[in-house]
Amino acid sequence: MSLLSKLFYFVLIASKKHKIDESHGLSHSMNVLQYANKIFENEISNYPSLKNHEKIIYVSAILHDMCDKKYMDENAGIKEIETYLQDEDALTNTEIIMSKKIMTTMSYSKVKKYGFPTLGSYQEAYHVVREADLLTAYDFDRCMIYKMNSNSGNIEEAFKDAENLFENRVFKHNEDGLFMFDYSKKESKILHDAALQRIEAWRNIIRKPLLRK
């Protein structure tokens, strides 16, 4: 089994064990990996050192939410990840350590509270993964799915909560200085416009009289 398959298999088993819903499960891991790869390929000429940390980028992108405090104790989750990576013998000790550091410091809430960590030569790799995750946050449906899993499926409430989150957080990513790479800055603007259209589409559906009975 390839390393890629092993990593996604861990996401599958960890999601089942910790009841991680689809907003942070397999499809999210896939989307973050896709964005991480796009950022990597677009920025490698500007930051050649990224090539040395490619594996760390992909591992962190795929596994980052398998220690999310919304679903489990973060320390216990990161220990499970560490044990799995050690048992599979797919990464060096240094690669495991740096992957753990990226995964445990990249969340929006931690960045807003503590700022960016200082990771030396791994700093750009950290930003690749962090920004890939931020780009997936523009998926309005994903946000609604998470809210619906938290409120017993009430889609009207989920829409309101998601809309508020986008207005107060997601749509401010650029002005908050959360994107370092040119690719992320450009892509976020495209995703911003797409999210606005999606919000209006949902607003239209939710207001339909025949669906409000």
Is residue 107 predicted with pLDDT exceeding 80?
yes
pLDDT, average across residues 75-94? 92
Is residue 92 predicted with pLDDT exceeding 80?
yes
Q: Which amino acid is at 76?
A: A
Q: Look at the chain and count its residues.
A: 213
DSSP assignment, residue 65?
Answer: G
- At 87 the pLDDT is 87
Rounded Cα distance, 56 and 149, in Å: 31
Tokens 């950290």, located at residue: 126
What residues contact 7, with CB distance under 8 A and at least 6 apart?
58, 59, 62, 63
Task: Indicate the pLDDT class of residue 83, thresholds 50, 70 and 90.
Answer: very high
Render pLDDT for 3-49 as a digit per residue (tens, 0 to 9).
Answer: 999 999 999 999 999 999 999 999 999 999 999 999 999 999 999 99
* 197: Cα separation from own chain's centroid: 22
Angle value at C-alpha 139, between 73 and 64, nearest 5 degrees: 30
Cβ count near 71 (within 10 Å): 19
Residue-averaged pLDDT of the chain: 96
Tokens 């298999």, located at residue: 9
Q: Are the C-beta atoms of residues 163 and 199 closer than 8 Å to each other? A: yes
Domains annotated on the chain, with CATH: 3-211 (1.10.3210)
pLDDT, average across residues 149-160? 93
